[in-house]
Chain A
């Protein structure tokens, strides 16, 4: 028992470190990718090619004056940025980065918690992050954040549905909510080949859930100045971004597990590279995809975003479920 606790704590620390590194360098990657897409270099002066930029940013934000809006509801105002970071950290526990490793004759499973309702847990926990943005927007007692908070409430609730519905197709095929089982199911063929519609719907919904462009309406800087985080400064502001990038990482990680074959190599002759490396590579590929989208597309309008969700994505995912269901029944020799 003591052994198990010790191993779990070590795993927690390692995964947390990986996530934070990913987040820190995610911000650098964003700026580098943006730079090169836009025909410029991006950060270049902190360290070679700007590799120390995340540290400099962190330090700067840490020393900034922490301004509290005078009319704010203090409790909620302080709570919101903290809430922004919690959901992605909770999801971290179920990410199946690999199956297991053997150290000193002992087999240690790699996921921190191999729970049977992992997918449900993921949906439940990520839907909590809407509170951060809503409370952040409403507690500052300011108009632009309020509009941002209003937008995000509607946006989250709608896209949460799409996210859930797109995953159901996968769950139906695999017959399990367990992420490790889902990955093992993809040993021979990745699920995005069998479930392309669900994969696309998942990515769209994930980007919308993360408030990333082209769906970054709650913080649309050209309309709402800063949206929900207009009234925040210093580390509180940084926490929102920490949460956003951490969310991007875990969303990409979950998408990797659900659709891109988790820790399996794309072809068998490449399987000498360890699983966790593959997992991180695929996660980064999806992460990069999100950056790429952001720097290419304009922003949708609020009503168009909602229209897209309710008029197109939800019906499409429902049809996908119907189709998948038929295939599952026919394969089982059904009706």
Chain B
């Protein structure tokens, strides 16, 4: 019995009311509804890994959301302190395991900036090519699971079909499908294998047509629209205040893409559009990622054009025992999920003194309670999908 009721109970008893009467009076005064606390995850079909949410519900409306993370914590940052700079690359693979080239990319760029290494242009083009393929693969998996969560099961398998093609490309070039570890400090592990570029071209031919397939099922589907338009809205100001980045903030009309805002590698030589939509809702974020897939495909084509014409080294001269000068560096890249930043403190030894990773999913996830407040249970699922978190990155 709540404190308030206990007090009322004592007051009424003191007045000499009979016990039955007291009960009835208290009932009358205190008919109220109670929030239903539901635990969603870490084992739940649509929390994408081991995200756990505690939801307070009034009927089906969300009153409060608490995010519980840490189920996939592997201590990446601490592990990095005991490894040489080269050995950290495989660790970065396992942050966003859906787009490992993009994770490698941010890390090697940060180290290269710290040590002032000039990377051959061909290597940069190969890196961009792989990173953009990773973006396509990551967005495909996002669209697949997002659609599955909202109930469109067929889109799931269609997207996986194309993702399989990208993974096959990864396998061909690097030997790995998920954890590729292809990038090296100063370049890439080795040049692309023979016939790889033709396969990429083939993929670029097919892919836009397949996007049309997904559009047929979703783009203007009445049910899809009613499930995503005006759902889980977040304004640009709030989003920026919470540190949203990547497609999640571009869906709120903020033109912020590090590939354009702070061009790194060879992005300033490539022609592509930044996808920005100002719906602030789940649908806008869907449109952003949908367009990004097509834009990435364009970038990939340009890279292939360059790589076919030119030859050259893919690795700068980097000593085997690599010791960057003492100092610190922060370098941010545009990973598929948003701004991925590596902050490295070096004490001049062959291991970093401290490695701090600013992962986009972690920052984006914090916006979730803000998005879903007052929405329905079903919208939570749509909202989780729309910010595209991957728990390997959240927990690190």
Contact = CB atoms under 8 A, between A and B. Distances in A.
Interface in B14-73: 36, 38-39, 44-46, 59-60
Interface string A177-196: 00000000000000000000
A151 B378 CA distance: 12
Contacts of A213: 151, 153
Contacts of A222: 45-46, 148-151, 381
Given A222-B151, A223-B378, A299 B161 contact: no
Nearest to A217: B378
A293 to B, nearest CB: 11
Contacts of A301: 226-227, 376, 378-379
B158 interface: yes
Chain A CB count within 10 A is highest, among B153, B154, B218, B377, for B153
Interface in A51-101: none
Contact of B226 (A38, A223, A295, A304): A304
A225 B226 contact: no
A27 to B, nearest CB: 16
A106 to B, nearest CB: 51
Interface in A208-231: 213-214, 216-217, 220-225
Nearest to A143: B38
Nearest to B155: A298
Contacts of B217: 296
**Chain B interface size, under 10 / 10 to 19 / 20 to 34 / 35 or more:** 20 to 34
A299 B379 CA distance: 12
B219 interface: no
Interface string A290-313: 000001111111111000000000
Interface string A34-60: 100111100000000000000000000
Nearest to A308: B226
B182 to A, nearest CB: 30
B79 interface: no
A331 B258 CA distance: 72
Nearest to B375: A301
Interface in B143-169: 147-154, 156-158, 161
B206 interface: no
Chain B CB count within 10 A is highest, among A217, A225, A299, A301, for A301
A298 B38 contact: no
State the 4 A-B residue pairs at the shortest beta-carbon distance, nearest first.
Answer: A299-B151, A298-B152, A38-B157, A222-B46
Interface of B: 36, 38-39, 44-46, 59-60, 147-154, 156-158, 161, 217-218, 221, 223-224, 226-227, 376-381
25 contacts: A38-B153, A38-B154, A38-B156, A38-B158, A39-B158, A39-B161, A40-B157, A143-B39, A147-B377, A150-B59, A213-B151, A221-B45, A222-B149, A222-B151, A295-B153, A296-B152, A298-B218, A298-B227, A299-B151, A299-B378, A301-B226, A301-B227, A301-B379, A302-B377, A304-B227
Interface of A: 34, 37-40, 143-144, 147, 150-151, 213-214, 216-217, 220-225, 295-304
